[in-house]
A and B are shown apart, each in its own frame.
Chain A
Amino acid sequence: MKLVTAVIKPHKWEDVREALETFGVAGMTVSEVSGYGRQKGHTEVYRGAEYDIALVPKIRIEIVVDDADADDVVGIVVKTAQTGRIGDGKVWVSPVETVVRVRTGEQDASAL
């Protein structure tokens, strides 16, 4: 199994969720996060004083999937979250050793 983690622009979140559901992803964990990459932050001006706002709001999606689905899920996120402009975000895949469904105790593939 793999953990796919995606950090995307907030306004792309609905598109990504729809595409993932259509693909058959059964669940995900989503959080509103702040951070920055090459995009850096932005500048705000209050009564002529410039403020550098370092952190940019993003959506982080975490999905545990079968090994076989990982590349497809990454592909879907990249395709739907892409605007082509700086700040589109990142997707990464990491190995997962074990998954347990809390309600039943089922493990791994049957727990997804």
Chain B
Amino acid sequence: MDGYYAFMLVATAFVLMMTVPALALFYGGMSRSKSVLNMMMMSYVAAAIVGILYVAVGWSMGFGGDGTFFANPFELLWLDGVTTDTYIGVMFQMTFAIITAALISGAVADRLKFSAWVVFVPLWSVIVYFPMAHMVFSCTEDSLVCGRIGAQDYAGGTAVHINAGVAALVLVVLLGKRIGWPREQMRPHNLTLTMLGAGLLWMGWYGFNVGSIVFAGEEGEAFTERFMSETGRTFANTTLATMAAILGWLLVERLIHKKATSLGAASGIVAGLVAITPAAGAVNLSGAVAIGLAAGAVCAWAVGLKYKLGYDDSLDVVGVHLVGGVVGTVLIGVFSTAEGAGGVDGLLYGGGFGSLGDQTLGVVVAVIYSGVLTALIALAIKYTMGLRLDEEDEVNGIDLVAHGESAYDLHSGTSGGGSVLAASTAPAAAPTATNTKTEGASA
């Protein structure tokens, strides 16, 4: 037990690192230089808001008792009655709530008012995430996804990734495209940050997946045996699926676009991690590789859908998290083995279509629940305080307008001549400091 407790301390810190700074770096590098600070701030401020809110009502709504959608928010209000020796479990779940909200930010680059984000995040956490966490992770008898449907989700394919991906899709449809998208070029401004962020996400994901082990009351030898065998399995599956997804993504890129890109490798890492998240405990090594390959290849294709369908999901939250989450969650129904954490054979191992059906139903519930309620929250904000920056502020850049800062101070010495020319093709010159003060009010 002591070992398990120490392990959870580390796992929890790792998962927090996934948001601060890993996700912020991953997204920040992909955004434009005029909005990188806002992109990173959306993750940091989500951590602050959701963290405190989680202690207030999140734990109680998720794990304070039974219920189809959520448990009584007042049962364990402000951790009333929760002893400190179980706080680490609360903190671990808190970090999941944080990253799920932060994941959405990648879709709304350059144009969502910062104030709207600060209002959206707590509403969305209480109305959408805390209930989804109850439905999936609490696994009480009445809980919809785990208890009633019986869908397997080891670490959050439905509650975290499908949930955030659907919310991102709904939000960008209501928010609209960025000015100039897709005609104007909006390429990533610093892929080294993105590579670093993807690497840190991979590392942090061991806390996310491996730390998601749940015991069934084992003690002594049985506890140790379960702990060691299951963490070994989830660690190895997480690793192999990620590696396979890198290769899957790069292969599709090489075939279609003739180049294997660094952004493709970074995206493959995340796609693989997303897909193995629900399946980490359910499949064997071959299943992990198959799911990783599928996620890498399918997501590499899915990120192009926004151009065909016309929604400006700026950093591909839908293409990577929604699609990757669906791939991983559904494929449990194919590759899951009875030796795994769920104890169910999938289609490939003679289990028939039962598991596949449960998994698909779990996906459908997550999509509908998150989609409908996110839409209501976003509409409420849109028609009260407004979701979107003024046109002029959007063009000037949200970093200056909302935060009064710019990420980089690059001088045009001999070594900077090229970048000065490149900057002059950007949509507009940066406003002066005095202008910012007067224009900043609307953000």
Interface string of A40-78 (1 = CB under 8 A from B): 000011111111101101000000000000000000000
> Which residues in B have their C-beta under 8 angstroms from that of A57?
418
Which among B257, B316, B319 is the interface contact of A45 at CB below 8 angstroms? B257
B300 on interface, CB distance cutoff 8 Å: yes
CA distance A52 to B264 in the complex (A): 19
> Which residues in B have their C-beta under 8 angstroms from that of A45?
253, 257, 259, 261
A33 on interface, CB distance cutoff 8 Å: yes
> Which residues in B have their C-beta under 8 angstroms from that of A31?
414, 417
B307 on interface, CB distance cutoff 8 Å: yes
A34 on interface, CB distance cutoff 8 Å: yes
What distance in Å separates the Cβ of A2 from its nearest Cβ neighbour in chain B?
Answer: 24
Which among A30, A32, A44 is the interface contact of B418 at CB below 8 angstroms? A32
How many residues on B have C-beta within 8 angstroms of the other chain's C-beta atoms? 27
Q: Which residue of B lies closest to A59 (CB)?
A: B417
Q: Which residue of B lies closest to A52 (CB)?
A: B185
Determine whether the beta carbon of B414 is less than 8 Å from that of A51.
no
Determine whether the beta carbon of B264 is less than 8 Å from that of A47.
yes
> Which residues in A have their C-beta under 8 angstroms from that of B417?
31-34
Q: Which residue of B lies closest to A34 (CB)?
A: B421
CA distance A91 to B303 in the complex (A): 44
Determine whether the beta carbon of B187 is less than 8 Å from that of A32.
no
Which among B185, B253, B425 is the interface contact of A51 at CB below 8 angstroms? B185
Determine whether the beta carbon of B307 is less than 8 Å from that of A34.
no
B86 on interface, CB distance cutoff 8 Å: no
> Which residues in A have their C-beta under 8 angstroms from that of B316?
47
What distance in Å separates the Cβ of A38 from its nearest Cβ neighbour in chain B?
Answer: 19
Chain A interface size band reads 10 to 19
> Which residues in A have their C-beta under 8 angstroms from that of B425?
54-55
- Tell me the chain B residues, 361-399 only, with Cβ under 8 Å from chain A: none
- Tell me the chain B residues, 245-272 only, with Cβ under 8 Å from chain A: 253, 256-257, 259, 261, 263-264, 267
CA distance A54 to B187 in the complex (A): 14
Q: Which residue of B lies closest to A54 (CB)?
A: B425
> Which residues in A have their C-beta under 8 angstroms from that of B422?
34, 55
Determine whether the beta carbon of A47 is less than 8 Å from that of B263.
yes
What distance in Å separates the Cβ of A41 from its nearest Cβ neighbour in chain B?
Answer: 11
Given A33-B421, A34-B421, A34-B422, also A48-B414 (CB < 8 A): no
CA distance A44 to B191 in the complex (A): 13
> Which residues in B have their C-beta under 8 angstroms from that of A50?
257
7 closest cross-chain pairs (CB), A and B: A32-B417, A34-B421, A48-B304, A47-B303, A45-B257, A51-B185, A34-B418
Residues of B within 8 A of A (CB): 182, 185, 187-188, 253, 256-257, 259, 261, 263-264, 267, 300-301, 303-304, 307, 316, 319, 414-418, 421-422, 425
List 25 A–B pairs whose Cβ atoms lie within 8 Å, in order of A's numbering: A31-B414, A32-B414, A32-B416, A32-B418, A33-B421, A34-B418, A34-B421, A44-B187, A45-B253, A45-B257, A46-B263, A47-B264, A47-B300, A47-B303, A48-B253, A48-B256, A48-B257, A48-B304, A49-B182, A49-B304, A49-B307, A51-B185, A51-B187, A55-B418, A55-B421
**A45-B253, A47-B267, A48-B304 known; 19 other A-B pairs, CB under 8 Å?**
A31-B417, A32-B414, A32-B416, A32-B418, A33-B417, A34-B417, A44-B187, A45-B257, A45-B261, A46-B263, A47-B303, A47-B316, A48-B253, A48-B257, A48-B301, A49-B307, A50-B257, A51-B185, A55-B425
